[in-house]
Amino acid sequence: MPRFSSEKDLESYRHKVAAGRAPDRRAVAVCAGTGCKAFGSAKLLPVFEAELAKASLKGKIELRATGCHGFCERGPLVLIFPAGRLYTKVKPEDVPEIVREDLAGGRVVERLLYRDPVSGKAYEKEEDIPFYMHQQRLVLKNNGLLDPASLDDYLALGGYRALAKAFAMGPEKVLEEVKKSGLRGRGGAGFWTGRKWEICRAAPGPDKVIICNADEGDPGAFMDRSVIEGNPHSVLEGMLIGAFAIGASTGCVYIRQEYPLAVERLGRAVAAAREAGLLGENILGSGFAFDLRIYRGGGAFVCGEESAMIASIEGRRGVPRRRPPYPAQSGLWGRPTNINNVETWANVPWIIDRGADWYRAIGTEKSTGTKIFSLVGKVNNTGLVEVPMGISLRQIVFDIGGGIPGGKKFKAVQTGGPSGGCLPASKLDIPVDFDTLVREGAMMGSGGMIVMDESTCMVDVARYFLNFLKFESCGNCTSCRDGLYQLHRLFTDIAEGRGSEHTLELVEELARTVKATSLCALGSTAVNPVESTLKYFREEILAHVRDRRCPAKVCKALITYTINDKCNGCTLCAKRCPQQAITGTVKKLHVIDQKKCIKCGICLDVCKQDAVWVE
Amino acid sequence: MAIRIFIDEQEVKAEPGESVLMVARRAGFDIPALCYHEAVESIGACRLCLVEVRSGARPGISTSCNMKAEDGLRISTDSPEIRRDRATNLELLLLRAPGSPVLRELAARWGVRPRLQPPPDAGIANCILCELCVRVCAALGHNALAAVGRGEKKRVGPAFGKPAEGCVGCGACLSVCPTRCIVMKDTPAARTIWGQSFEFHRCQVCGQPVITEKHRAFAIAKRGLPEDYYDVCEPCKQSQASQRFASVVW
Ligand SMILES: Cc1cc2nc3c(=O)[nH]c(=O)nc-3n(C[C@H](O)[C@H](O)[C@H](O)COP(=O)(O)O)c2cc1C
Ligand code: FES
């Protein structure tokens, strides 16, 4: 890798790399994201290598390990270029067939194609699969196309062109462009990124710092991880452009320890950028100097909060402090500091490269661009989805997610991570943008999206999130620490049949104070799951407290299992009951001893006669 | 350069950056506060010193101990919301420290009666986890105490749960503890605190304990005091001085 000392250097090298890569060249891309790796995708590469050699295709077909494609659930994924054909759940024993049939013979291996779980229809091309078809991929666009370990790959796709352009524009123009783009922070509150940069730029103090927030503490979220794993240079380029606009010479990436692959790939990207002169002194001959360090966090949720993160980087206990002063006034090591989320940074090169007007055209007026969601729960297609802002929840859940499995009914979608809110079916048509979600009692958060079906109990859901949040509360302030503890306890009372309408009054009173007086946003947003549940699913909660009934049949204390006369006396349930609570002889009606029953549900699962009844 | 802030519509002078709580108290406003001490940095733990900000870009309820005075700031110290939230936070604290006279007095004054179940004990009965002890201990240079754990499992005490090397038995932690929950026992021979025993250095005149031996060694080394500085207790020093004075005069 040469060291670029000017934009001209960079461009001539890019030409050289691109010239060797005809757009229609043949390639096999094996996903090496964490999800596919967990399914064993790493084992595919050596087999492909051997099989390609055997078929004398070595050198004619490029073999590539790429970042996450977002459809992890169907992994390991293999993409065949230039056709764009997607094979799912590929095992090492499938590889010879792919090489023989597809690569050598030009025949599609039907059995490995994605099949729609509902219609059964098989799809050949990745882009035609409903999961992908309704997405608009920008930040994730190049994830499947490049090898994250290769700076050449990134350069061939236009990488660091935006940086060179930014240097030519000068910091003020870059700042204006980002402001004009309407970009808002993807990490939580949706603050205007350009405005934030401007405040930090204007703050007195020569030694400014920028931080990339890669703590990603929401359970089940993995968009930031996938961006870093799949396209680490895009984050670096965004940070470089931001640092230039703000006038910062130091950068930090705060990334959680539990992301070893992301840490490794980012570390490699940083080393490669340094070697190429894209980090360090006098970058591309612009006179601008910038370098960054990677800090690994211990995985505390609260350390994603900016002031706690700063404390953690400084080597103190990760506890938030009151803002103001904001990081832009006094942040890391007392210096003016600008913090943005991974996805926010990764949007920046697009804005500078294509221009604010192009970017603004995506999304809505006040929420521009795309947003990556991690779509999980009771939905047919789970994974990472990147959609234009303003798309409806229904499109995400039904068109992209393929609806609810098992013919069950949709009940709620929880957006915004643990401190987001649960929206009911009546809100399925609202546009997904920062302000609408907040108005409806949920939030964008960093992009968690959990789909729930009719078998989900909303008391149970609220209790689950409260449990997470009380556990993750730093414990510093009374309202958050003890308020959440008590809220969780009250919801446990409701779930276990000890609740009354007085319990609900206490819940509402506590929630108000926790929201109004907690020191940081962990506490003040922690009541969202409670408040949205009270707002949209009040009847269900009342059923718990008034009638001691759990309509979704989830809360164990409020349900009973009985066996009805459909029982043909097969004895299966009695054999499998871990409590020996079921009695009955062969071909006779069985009975559950309610005193012994622990409501584990095994009898319900094993009964073939549909004779176990839950009430 | 003095600035002006407005507390309940009354103009009050302050230094920029001063704690709003301190400014308000100096001007005679009664704002309850448990985790505040002007000698150490505020962490806003107890959530009782609530006021309502009525100026600037972010109006609303906030704690005053860790709010810095800025020119033109307008706050009010009382409103139905403030009273409601203070009462709820007090209730939460009272569940942790039912035996604290200060909390009980506030509860009686505000008509607060706990309706909830107490959280698990923080290891020390009546501790409200405000960390004043930790902060004061650090400010004095001992660093014998720390906060550990998250959520309702948070604890304060000697770091790693073992008797702390830095502890000199000075008792400053207890002197600032709002609920007086730290257990310190003095006998004529020694002081016991945080699981350690400290022998007293005694007054050579009256024999009363003056300071723990370990604290004496720390203070002499740190502050460069003469070796015999703690050999006579303050009362005896005073009576010695007045005797000397008398012998000179008469
Ligand atoms: C409890 C808590 C956890 C947070 N966790 C994250 C996180 O994991 N990742 C993140 O980017 N922002 C997180 N944030 C938001 C950050 O404090 C900050 O607003 C954000 O990183 C700013 O970047 P942005 O403007 O690009 O969104 C969290 C905030 C709170 C209160
Ligand atoms: S005195 Fe301000 S929060 Fe305790």
Question: Which residues have a Cβ under 8 Å from the Cβ of A315 and sit 6 or more positions away?
Answer: none
Closest CA to A287 of A3, A6, A2, A1: A6
B154 touches chain A (CB under 8 A): yes
Q: What value of ipTM does the predicted structure carry? A: 0.94
Whose CA is closest to A76, among A12, A177, A144? A144
pLDDT band at B250 (very low <50, low <70, confident <90, very high): low
How far is residue B45's CA from residue B193's CA, in Å, rounded to a whole number? 24
Question: Is residue B250 in some structural domain?
Answer: no
For residue A518, the chain B residues in CB contact (below 8 A) are 47
Interface of B with A in 69-98 (CB under 8 A): 81, 84-85, 88-89, 92-93, 95-96
* Domain final position from B76, B95, B123: B123
Answer yes or no: do B13 and B110 share one domain. yes
Q: What is the A449 CA–ligand 1 centroid distance (Å)?
A: 17
Assign residue B83 the CATH number of its domain: 3.10.20.740
Q: CA-CA distance, B169 to B155, in Å (whole number)?
A: 20
Do residues A431 and A357 make contact, with C-beta atoms less than 8 angstroms apart? no
Statement to judge: residues B155 and B196 lie in one domain: yes
Number of structural domains (chain B) is: 2
Residue A283 zone, left/alpha/beta (φ > 0; ψ -120 to 50; rest): beta
Please judge whether B151 and A517 are an interchain contact, meaning their C-beta atoms are less than 8 angstroms apart: no
B25 C-alpha to ligand 2 centroid (Å): 13
Q: Which of A213, A340, A465 to mutate to test the pocket of ligand 1 (most atoms within 8 A of CB)?
A: A213
* Interface touch B61/A322, C-beta < 8 Å: no
Tell me if B80 is assigned to some domain.
yes
B116 and A483 within 8 Å at the Cβ level: the answer is: no
What value does the mean pLDDT take over residues B152-161? 89
| Pair (B68, B138) in one structural domain | no
List helix spans (H) across chain B: 20-26, 80-96, 101-110, 132-139, 172-176, 213-223, 234-249
CA of A190 to the centre of ligand 1 (A): 9
Number of H helices, E strands in chain A: 25, 19
Task: Write out pLDDT tens, residues B19-52.
Answer: 999 999 999 999 999 999 999 999 999 999 999 9
Are B118 and B136 in a shared domain?
Answer: no
Given a contact cutoff of 8 angstroms between Cβ atoms, the answer to whether A234 and A240 are in contact is no
Those residues with Cβ within 8 angstroms of residue A442's Cβ, 6 or more apart along the chain or in another chain: A414, A415, A416, A420, A421, A422, A423, A528, A532
Domain assignment of residue B137, yes or no: yes
Residues of A in contact with B66 (CB under 8 A): 321-322
> Is residue A251 within 8 Å of A337, Cβ to Cβ?
no
The answer to whether position B211 is within a domain reads yes
Q: Min CA distance, B51 vs chain A (Å)?
A: 10
pLDDT digits (tens, 9 = 90+) for A359-417: 999 999 999 999 999 999 999 999 999 999 999 999 999 999 999 999 999 999 999 99
**How many C-beta atoms lie closer than 10 Å to residue B17's C-beta?**
10
Q: What's the CA-to-centroid distance between B43 and ligand 2, angstroms?
A: 7
Mean pLDDT of chain B: 94
| Same domain, residue pair B238 and B153 | yes
If we measure between CA atoms, which residue out of A338, A337, A344 comes closest to residue A367?
Answer: A344
B60 pLDDT exceeds 90? yes
* Structural domain contains residue B37: yes
Q: Are residues B150 and B112 in the same domain?
A: no
Asked if the structure places residue B249 within a domain, the reply is: no
Q: Given this model, what pLDDT does residue B241 score? A: 85
The 10s digit of each residue's pLDDT in A157-212 is 999 999 999 999 999 999 999 999 999 999 988 999 999 999 999 999 879 999 99
Instruction: Report yes or no: B247 at the A interface, CB cutoff 8 Å.
Output: no
Q: What pLDDT shows up at residue A45?
A: 95
CA distance A321 to chain B (A): 7
Give pLDDT tens digits for B185-205.
999 999 999 999 999 999 999
Dump pLDDT digits (tens) for A407-454.
Answer: 999 999 999 999 999 999 999 999 999 999 999 999 998 899 999 999
A478 vs B45, B66, B81: nearest CB: B45
B242 touches chain A (CB under 8 A): no
Asked if A322's CB is within 8 angstroms of B150's CB, the reply is: no
Q: What is the mean pLDDT of chain A?
A: 95
Instruction: Please indicate, yes or no, if residue B229 is contained in any of the structural domains.
Output: yes
- Positive or negative CA dihedral for A443, A444, A445, A448? positive
**pLDDT value of residue B159:** 80
In angstroms, the separation between the Cα of residue A189 and the nearest Cα of chain B is: 15
Same-domain check for residues B46 and B91: yes
C-alpha B6: how far from its chain's center? 27
Contact between B93 and A478 using a beta-carbon 8 Å cutoff: yes
End residue of a domain, out of B123, B144, B174 = B123
Are residues B208 and B106 part of one domain?
no
d(CA B84, CA B93): 14
> Are residues B144 and B113 located together in one domain of the fold?
no
State in Å: Cα A301 to ligand 1 middle: 10
Question: pLDDT below 50 — which residues of chain A?
Answer: none
CB contacts of B83 in chain A (<8 Å) are none
Which atom of ligand 2 is closest in space to residue B44's alpha carbon? 3
Ligand 2, residue B45: give the atom nearest the CA. Answer: 3
Domains and CATH numbers, chain A: 22-126 (3.40.30.10), 159-360 (3.40.50.11540), 370-453 (3.10.20.600), 458-546 (1.20.1440.230), 560-614 (3.30.70.20)
Contacts of B231 (CB under 8 A, 6+ apart): B201, B203, B204, B210
Residue A347: half-sphere exposure toward Cβ, Cα within 13 Å: 30
Higher pLDDT, B250 or A147: A147
Name the domain boundary from B123, B144, B165: B123
Q: What is the pTM of this model?
A: 0.93
The answer to whether residues B193 and B160 belong to one domain is yes
**Phi and psi at residue A590, to the nearest 5°:** -95, 160
Distance B32 CA to ligand 2 centre (A): 8
Question: What is the span of the domain harbouring residue B86?
Answer: 1-123
Helix pair A538-546, A528-536: axis angle to 10 deg: 90
C-alpha distance from A195 to closest chain B C-alpha (Å)? 15
Same-domain check for residues B146 and B55: no
Provide, as residue numbers in chain B, all residues whose Cβ is less than 8 Å from the Cβ of A324.
68
Residue B248 lies in a domain: no
Same domain, B136 and B172: yes
Residue A540 is predicted with a pLDDT of 97
Q: How far, in Å, CA of B9 to CA of B76, rounded?
A: 8
pLDDT tens digits, A273-299: 999 999 999 999 999 999 999 999 988
